[in-house]
């Protein structure tokens, strides 16, 4: 393992993801930027999630099991444990491309006005397709900010999330989109990593959508 100063906290909430979480964790371990800690919040899983996580021997992985409280509160538990200014969200059924953390960190380094940065995403939901938000999300009505990037594949500033008081626990399903609105209301811009190499587009994160779970509820308030 490379000896790199830790700069990024990766937070991964999970609930009964034993079949998928190893792939998600290993996609973090294979990042080109190695200065990270991975905080896994197990929201009271009843399957083999704990066994799969603890079988991976890496001192940078911090495993915390809590009683089942739901994803929104589990995320807030994890946010309080993050040590670094840059925090990357990573769902337990997603796979990050190897340079995701490196590119998102550089984007935040270079754009001090950006509070949260997403990426292009490859959605695998029976109808695979690429979603390509612009580099800086243009100003628009707050209700239209919801869904402009996938928060589950984003990196944001700890100072921004502290300013808005964490993720709003009044939102059980659309907490990601409410978080985007809150960050925008706090005066930050929203960005998106884009990569072009010899006219071939490289996607920073593959976003695996569980068809049985509604991850597309929009915040309209």
Q: How far apart are CA 38 and CA 145, in angstroms?
A: 28
Closest CA to 135 of 161, 113, 160: 113
> Cα-flanking dihedrals φ and ψ of residue 178, to 5°?
-65, -35
82 vs 3 pLDDT, higher one = 82
Q: What is the pLDDT of residue 216?
A: 37
| Contact by Cβ (8 Å): 89, 153 | yes
Residue 154's domain is classified under what CATH number?
Answer: 3.90.550.10
Closest CA to 58 of 41, 38, 79, 32: 38
The winner for highest mean pLDDT among 78-87, 114-123, 176-185, 203-212 is: 78-87
Q: What is the pLDDT of residue 144?
A: 74
pTM, rounded to two decimals: 0.88
Q: How far apart are CA 193 and CA 118, in angstroms?
A: 6
> Does 184 reside within a domain?
yes
> Does 219 reside within a domain?
no
Range of the domain at 110: 8-208
Q: What is the pLDDT of residue 3?
A: 66
> Does 1 reside within a domain?
no
> Cα-flanking dihedrals φ and ψ of residue 100, to 5°?
-55, -55
> Does 218 reside within a domain?
no
The pLDDT tens digits of the residues spanning 115-142 come to: 999 888 887 766 777 788 888 777 777 7
> Does 3 reside within a domain?
no
Residue 40: count other Cβ atoms within 10 Å of its Cβ: 27
* Mean pLDDT value across the chain: 86
High-pLDDT (> 70) share of the chain, %: 85
pLDDT for 31 beyond 90:
yes
The pLDDT tens digits of the residues spanning 187-220 come to: 999 998 886 434 344 566 776 654 334 333 333 3
Closest CA to 218 of 180, 187, 186: 180
> Does 15 reside within a domain?
yes
pLDDT for 186 beyond 50:
yes
Contacts 24+ apart (CB under 8 A), 29-33: 29/56, 29/58, 30/98, 31/96, 31/98, 31/99, 31/100, 31/101, 31/102, 32/98, 32/99, 32/101, 32/102, 33/4, 33/7, 33/8, 33/99, 33/101, 33/102, 33/105
Residue 217: count other Cβ atoms within 10 Å of its Cβ: 15
> Does 213 reside within a domain?
no
pLDDT for 2 beyond 70:
no
Q: What is the pLDDT of residue 199?
A: 38
Count how many domains the chain has. 1
> Does 119 reside within a domain?
yes
- CA-atom Rg of the chain in angstroms: 16
Mean pLDDT, range 16-37, rounded to an integer = 96
């Amino acid at each position: 393992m490379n000896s790199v100063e830790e700069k990024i906290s990766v937070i991964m909430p999970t609930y009964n993801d034993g079949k998928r979480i190893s792939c998600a964790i290993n996609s973090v371990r294979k990042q080109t930027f190695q200065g990270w800690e991975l905080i896994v919040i197990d929201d009271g899983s009843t399957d083999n999630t704990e066994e799969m996580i603890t079988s991976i021997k890496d001192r940078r992985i911090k495993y915390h099991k809590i009683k089942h409280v739901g994803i929104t509160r589990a995320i807030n538990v994890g946010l309080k444990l993050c040590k670094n200014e840059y925090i990357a969200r990573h769902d337990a059924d997603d796979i990050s491309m190897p340079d995701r953390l490196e590119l998102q960190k550089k984007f935040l380094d270079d754009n001090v006005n950006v509070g949260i940065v997403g990426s292009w995403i490859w959605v695998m939901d029976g109808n695979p397709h690429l979603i390509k938000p612009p580099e800086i999300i243009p100003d628009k009505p707050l209700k239209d900010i919801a869904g402009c990037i996938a928060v589950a594949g984003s990196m944001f500033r700890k100072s921004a999330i502290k300013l808005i008081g964490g993720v709003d626990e009044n939102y059980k399903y659309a907490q990601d989109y409410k978080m985007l609105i809150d960050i925008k209301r706090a005066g930050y811009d929203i960005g998106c990593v884009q990569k072009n190499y010899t006219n071939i587009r490289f996607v920073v994160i593959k976003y695996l959508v569980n068809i049985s779970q509604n991850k597309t509820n929009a915040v309209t308030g």
